[in-house]
Structure 1
Amino acid sequence: MTTRTRATTPEAVAEDRSTSAGYRPELQGLRALAVVLVVAYHVWLGRVSGGVDVFFLITGFLITGQVYRAGLRGRFGFRAMWARMIKRLFPAALTVLLVTMAVSVALLPEARWWQTIREIVASALYVENWQLAADSVDYFAQHNTASVVQHYWSLSIQGQFYLLWPLLIALVAVLARTAGHRLRPWLLATLAVVFTTSLTYSVVLTATNQPLAYFHSATRVWEFALGGLLALTLHTLTLPRLLRILAGWLGVTALITCGLVLQVGSVFPGYAALWPTLAAALVILAGTTHSKAGADHLLASRPLEYLGNLAYALYLWHWPVLLCYLVARDRTEVGPRGGAVIVAIAVGLSILTYHLVEKPARDSQIGVHTRWGGYRFGVLLLVPVLLAAGGWQWLSTERANAYAESVNDADHPGAVARTPEFPQADEVDGKNVELVPSMVALPSDWSDISQNCVPSTRNAELNLCTTKTNGPPERRIVVVGESHSRQYLAALRPIAERRNWQITEMLRSACPFSTSSEVVRDSQGCVDWNAAAAKEIIKMRPDTVFTMASREVRVGFTEHTPPGFVEQWRKLERAGIPVIGVRDNPRYDFTPSDCVAAKGRDAPECGTRRADILAPQPPYERIPDVPSNVSFLDFSDYICMEDVCPPVIGNVLVYKDENHLSATYLSTMSSIVEKEITSAMNW
């Protein structure tokens, strides 16, 4: 597909020459510096460097200049341009995905399989950033461990840029030609608007939802636009050599120190991302100084130029090598020697990838003599990755379903093994049987209603989801709060089906039922949501409200009942609505199921001494003048033994992550919860 804009004119030729790219060896050195920072910060410091933002700016600088010059010549040649990009990007990226997938099957815990498969497919399709953005607003997905392909988020944004940016420039070219104006002023104005709009959105979203902003394409467009503005104006920015030397070194110094001064992972993008992008812009502005004192003398050196050639492959390899090393060594961080091993392996793989995959594919004649050859080549590379991911998905599903029917059988009583009516508990726990749920299914082992949902007229974020009943319900129960209330739906739903109860859920992530924001400090959205929830409950007048009575049960006796909880209970007391307050379950700084997968169900380090985490007296019992409408339930004896809180009870994994009970285990508690509720409510 070739788009014509206008015939080439003498003015266009002059303008083309003024923005001629030429070869700038310092750009390869800048790439090298950026990837060294990314790798070093990830491996040794466990931080984010801002190097990715440099890649964005360089990409915007080069692609804008390239497409702009093509527009001046009258032919954009989109088909050939995108085919070249496929040849340059796909071979190395998809090779790394295939190898990473093979290693992950053998090395990663099964509990991480589904997440990894999902992200590998997203990475292959260049939408990994959107997958991570979606996970950032999914409370349970927020507990995911960083995947071996998480770093593909930046490649996904770049891929989207490669596709859409030329179309934007072509549109501006058509409009400028129609108006009889030169392209440069129109394009400068357009990029200025894009830069301002995207940066403003980035600042606002970073302040309100930084995890989402970090991966959102729209919050990063301004970095490409800044590179584009630099490409269009660089020839007009002439500085004395001394100033260019100073600018170059200032830019290099700023790049190196950015990740040390700023917590990039928690404050970017927003205005903070101006630091590395403007630093890179200074290096580009400095250009070639022809001075041994200039930063470009270092950046254009042969070692850095070669490292710049390896930058793409090194970026692709360093992260999966790091993650696989940590998994294989059962560590959370690496030391100096371990980091050196990781970097050496990543560099070695990068050299092989560059010389055996990336460069041969880029220099090949594929797609040169046929119109669609480059695209067929891309599909040929993509299909094996998707087929392999599909095969892994099938294997994961088979593993997940293998023991699904085992729940509640004689070998998997779960919480029932903790009841007096089950005297053979020791015998069951001693059996060598498979645990349920399977490790593969564990990350998605939670329950909700997600049906018959209607939005509240009081708050746009308050959804009322209700179970179906056979005719008029015998009882109506509202489950309100955050994920720790939500997890009990796995126990409540079977009761509702047996007794024809109607359950309505009012749930919001990280927002317990309180008059204050308990999880996210000063979250007015949570406060407003809770106020609306209380009004909806009073309007509904259910038979009871099911919610949490405490939170933060951790080692060191941090459990407490916030005053905001009590204030909400008092509101319902005045309305004559009973409340069931449930003591929170213990929370850990590790994932018990991962420990079981790595060290076995009986490993002492996979459990926690009950005396270290659960106080004998719940905090709500120490509150004076507790509202009379509240009945408290404490299921600690079914989550912990007398002396230890184990990861497995009755051959069922108790936890799905570090602080949520598994839905499978809670389903085995259903009869226990039923007995406690009916007794407390006199039903």
Structure 2
Amino acid sequence: MVSAFFLTASFVRRVETQRPLALGSFWLRRFRRLLPAAAVTIVGVLGVALAAYPQTEWPRVWREAWASLFYVENWTLALSEVDYYARESVTPSPFQHFWSLSVQGQVFILWPLIIAAVWVVLRRRRRMIVPALTVVFGAIFIASLGFSVVETMRAQSFAYFDTRTRLWEFAAGSLVALALPHVRVRPAIGAILGWIGIVGIVMCGIVLDVQGGFPGYLALWPVICTALVIIAGRDRPRGGPSMILESAPLRYVSRDAYALYLVHWPVLVTWMMLSGRTEPGWLAGIGIVLLSFVLARLVSMLVEQPIRDSAVLDRSHRLGALVLAASVLIVSAPLGAWQLTIEQREAALRASDSGGYPGAAQIDTPIDLSGADLPLIPLATALDEEWVDLKGSCAGELEPVEPVLQGSCAQTANAADSDAWRVLVMGDSHAQQLMSPLTVLADQQGWGIVALLKGGCAIGIGAPTWSAAGPPCEEWRAAAIEYATRVQPDAVYLVVTRATPAAREVLVEGIREIADELTANGIQVIAVRDNPRFDFDMYECALEESEIAPGADTASCDVPDPGFAVGEDLDDLATAEGVTAVDFRPWLCPEGVCRGSIGNIAVYIDDNHISDSYGRTLAPMLQEMLEVGGPLGAEAR
């Protein structure tokens, strides 16, 4: 709001004094002030992350460093909030505070364009420009606030970072700038309004549920309070808050305000990473504050102020542009080199023909891996590539006609071949990962695979849902079953049980009725048992153990298999005609103990999803179970 207030007031003065708008010069000066200090901060965080952050955090650091550099961090965070597959982390991102700078950067591009458009239309009627701007920014205020209220109620975590839900706050600053020359208040009233605004801003963070209710209508509180402070500060009434805001201590601190904003959050997050704690006590808190002030003074003194106040850069647009280019380069060069180095390492590891990664085969035919000096796979930086992906979207006769299934259907290239044996995989992210061995067999046998997948939506009747985005699970599940009966695959691959970290395993609600419906339509059912779930990140545990003892399976990560609840049994479901049970548990939890790594391969990529790398080693076991159960018939074999 404050930034829009100053920006609008500056351009209005140019219009009123008939000076050129000079948008190029404005953007150059503004980003010349903002980007260099931000770039130095980003580079500093990259260095600390390389030295001290877990490798599992590196991909997020890379992704958000790029986003912060180019002022799109808010959209990166917004999309990750609704991405079911985004890797969860105990600690926030060291670049999370760049979301607001990103929104500001976008508005610093948009607002001058809006003002320039109004100027172009009314340049021959200059007296109409300010009233027209009032109408335009008033319309933005109303539209954006309404949108913000609706989206906050519907998807608050996304709305918090959405530029569109924040535009009204900038518009409020612009409206105050346009109205302020015409506002007159008595000094005593101005002083009271100023103090109400100051107290309101402070109390906002204490009283309001910022995490659960912002931005929405709750953000009107700090916006209105800020407007009161601005109005009161116009004439600096005696007894008003200006006596404190203009005091020497606050002015001393304010010279480093931008740099302090840049560095304080990475300092806090790094402390959280190193300590393993989420809340600092008094001693740690004081240390974080003091270190933040020291770093802010250095960034401000050595980077921000010299570049901002340089008369040479003011006179030469070319030199100013070179400063921006250099700022981008000092981030992109080391960041790109770091990513390239890790990618080359991953590629070399994938291309190696080492026998040191038996995976599930280690259970049935153990080999000695104690002397193998090989890293655990998948590498910590390659976990995003471990999600099973069929690559192609469903097309032709396999394209869903049900609207709720749009975007959730994928297929292999040969799935449309009428001569190929076709298997339909339906369900949530566990069905997705547990189809990994199926994809190996499909490649070997020439089968086609179609997958209907929606994170958090297991196939069942009344089953719990963990999906926060897209159509409701019940609608999606019903449409998926309709799709199966319409397409008539040779077999449907379903996860039919549900495991949880805190309870014994049970059959998914309504799975018997679904299996009966499918088999009644002549469709074989491959009933797959769910993999175990844990209350900690199994991959990180396995990685830590592998670094201590390369080649050894991770005994300290062992968790006893809780097994089925009383009265629940997969075998009972498999007695039905046309249903075959698939249970990978002997190779996930050999001898009743679930392991973090087996055969030098991490079994999981987080606390509940198996890795594609390990899943592919389960292909021979799946083939044996299918041959014994005979769900695909002689043709498939």
With normalisation by structure 1, the TM-score equals: 0.84
Instruction: Give structure 2 stretches of 5+ with no counterpart.
Output: none
The answer to which of 568-577 and 436-445 deviates more is 568-577
Whether 1:380 aligns to 2:380 is no
Q: Residues 371, 523 of structure 1: CA spacing in aligned structure 2 closer, same or farther, 3 A cutoff?
A: closer
- Separation of aligned partners in 1, 2:526 and 2:199: 59
Determine if contact 1:553/1:614 at 8 Å carries over to the other structure. no
Residues 176 and 182 in structure 1, CA contact (< 8 A), matched pair in contact too: yes
Matches within 5 A, 1:613-624: 613-615=562-564, 619=568
Partners of 1:92 and 1:123 in 2: CA distance: 12
Match of 2:8 in 1: 64
User: Any conservation in 2 of the 1:100–1:320 contact (CA below 8 Å)?
Assistant: yes
CA contact 1:148–1:323 (8 Å) conserved in 2: yes
One-letter code of the match for 1:90? Answer: L
Amino acid at match of 1:672: M
Deviation per CA, 1:201-238: give whole Å up to 9, x if none.
22222233333322222221111111111111123343
* Corresponding residue of 1:581: 527
* 1:510 is the counterpart of 2:510: no
CA contact (8 A) 1:310 1:351 kept: yes
Q: 1:625 to 1:508 in 2, by over 3 A?
A: closer
Q: Pairwise mapping of residues 550-561 of structure 1 onto structure 2 (< 5 A)?
A: 550-554=497-501, 556-557=502-503, 559-561=505-507
Residue 468 in 1 paired to residue 413 in 2? yes
> Are 1:277 and 2:223 an aligned pair?
yes
> Structure 1's 598 and 532: CA in aligned 2 closer, same or farther, altered over 3 A?
same
Q: CA deviation at 1:514?
A: 3.3
2:611 maps to 1:662: yes
> What RMSD, in angstroms, separates the aligned Cα atoms of the two structures?
2.9
Q: Which runs of 5+ in 1 are unaligned?
A: 1-56
Aligned to 2:477: 530
Task: Report the CA distance between 1:88 and its aligned residue.
Answer: 1.0
Q: 1:563 aligns with which of 509, 518, 521?
A: 509
Q: Aligned AA for 2:246?
A: A
Q: Percent identity?
A: 33
- Determine the C-alpha separation between the residues in 1 that align with 2:512 and 2:202: 50
Amino acid at match of 1:147: S
* 1:497 corresponds to: 443
SS at match of 1:183: helix
Q: In structure 2, what is the Cα distance between the partners aligned to 1:514 and 1:662?
A: 24
Amino acid across the alignment from 1:120: A
How far apart, CA to CA, are the structure 1 residues paired with 2:543 and 2:593?
19
Residues 371 and 361 of structure 1, relative CA distance in 2, 3 Å threshold: closer
Alpha carbons 1:443, 1:657 under 8 Å: kept: no
Partner Cα separation in structure 2 for residue 283 and residue 653 of structure 1: 57
One-letter code of the match for 1:519? W
Whether 1:458 aligns to 2:402 is yes
Q: Does 1:340 align with 2:289?
A: no
C-alpha contact (below 8 Å) 1:59/1:227 kept by paired residues: yes
SS at match of 1:215: coil
| Aligned position for 1:541 | 488
* CA shift in 2, pair 1:330/1:262, >3 Å: same
* Residue 437 (structure 1) aligns with: 378
Amino acid at match of 1:94: A
| Cα deviation, residue 348, structure 1 | 0.8
SS at match of 1:238: coil
User: Deviation per CA, 1:298-357, whole angstroms, max 9, x where unpaired?
Assistant: 223222223222221111111221222222234344333222222221111001111121
Task: Name which of 591, 603, 619 aligns with 1:642.
Answer: 591
After alignment, is 76-85 or 301-310 more displaced? 301-310
Q: Quick one: distance in 2 between partners of 1:340 and 1:562?
A: 51
SS in 1 for 2:422: strand
SS at structure 1 position matched to 2:497: coil
Alignment match, 1:25: none
In structure 2, relative to structure 1, the CA distance for the partners of 1:106 and 1:300 (3 Å cut) is same
**Equivalent residue letter for 2:379:** S
1:252 equivalent in alignment to 2:198: yes
Equivalent position amino acid for 1:307 in 2: V
Is the 8 Å Cα contact of residues 84 and 467 (structure 2) preserved in structure 1?
no
- Please state whether the residue corresponding to 1:665 is helix, strand or coil: helix
Q: Distance in 2 between matches of 1:306 and 1:59?
A: 20
Out of 335, 349, 353, which is 2:299 matched to?
A: 353
624-633 vs 576-585, which moves further: 624-633
CA distance in 2 between counterparts of 1:626 and 1:287 reads 80
Q: Distance in 2 between matches of 1:571 and 1:350?
A: 66
- Per the TM alignment, residue 76 of structure 1 is displaced from its structure 2 partner at its CA by 0.8
Kindly report which structure 2 residues correspond to 1:142-541, keeping only aligned pairs within 5 A, or say none: 143=88, 146-177=92-123, 182-287=128-233, 293-405=239-351, 409-419=354-364, 422=365, 424=366, 427-428=368-369, 431-454=372-395, 455-459=399-403, 461-463=405-407, 464-469=409-414, 472-516=418-462, 518-520=465-467, 525-541=472-488
Deviations 1:568-606, CA, capped at 9 Å, x for gaps: 445434434332232222223332222344455679895
- In structure 2, C-alpha distance between the alignment counterparts of 1:399 and 1:618, rounded to whole Å: 49
Q: Please tell me whether the aligned partners of residues 113 and 396 of structure 1 are also in contact (alpha carbons under 8 angstroms).
A: no
Secondary structure of 1:469 counterpart: helix
Q: Read off the aligned partner of 1:386 and give its amino acid letter.
A: S
8 Å CA contact retained: 1:213, 1:269? yes
Aligned length: 620
- The normalised TM-score by structure 2 is 0.89
1:609 maps to 2:559: yes
1:90 to 26, 35, 40: 35
Deviations 1:2-26, CA, capped at 9 Å, x for gaps:
xxxxxxxxxxxxxxxxxxxxxxxxx
